[in-house]
Amino acid sequence: MRVGIIRCQQTEDLCPGTKDLVCASHGMAAFKELGPCEVMGIVSCGGCPGKRAVARALMLKSKGAEAIALASCMKKGVPLNFPCPNYEQILKAIKEKLGPDFVVLESTH
């Protein structure tokens, strides 16, 4: 399955996304039910408050993503233990825009 990852813009300079890529390619953690995935793109949320995340999810879908994963830096706040305060609203908006049949993973690891 081809998956696009959306990550926290403020975490980009602290984390290269290595664990996200390993988990996706090996079908581990949040990708377990999907099996090994090809990451076809990684983009940021666009910065706080995350209003660009929906447009970026649509862009990833238009480029061939069959699923979208919100990176663990957004939900769990890794590596700084500071979760996105807008995570639930971003998740809800992406799910609504992509529809109930499109796979949206709520974390990566």
Kindly report the pTM of this predicted structure.
Answer: 0.96
pLDDT in tens, 24-57: 999 999 999 999 999 999 999 999 999 999 999 9
Distance separating alpha carbons of residues 75 and 53, to the nearest angstrom? 14
Helices (H), 1-109: 18-26, 53-62, 72-75, 87-98
Helix (H, G, I), strand (E, B) or coil at 91: helix
pLDDT for the residue 79: 86
pLDDT for the residue 30: 97
Q: Are 7 and 71 in contact (CB under 8 A)?
A: yes
Boundaries of domain holding 14: 2-105
Structural domain count, the chain: 1
CATH of residue 71: 3.40.50
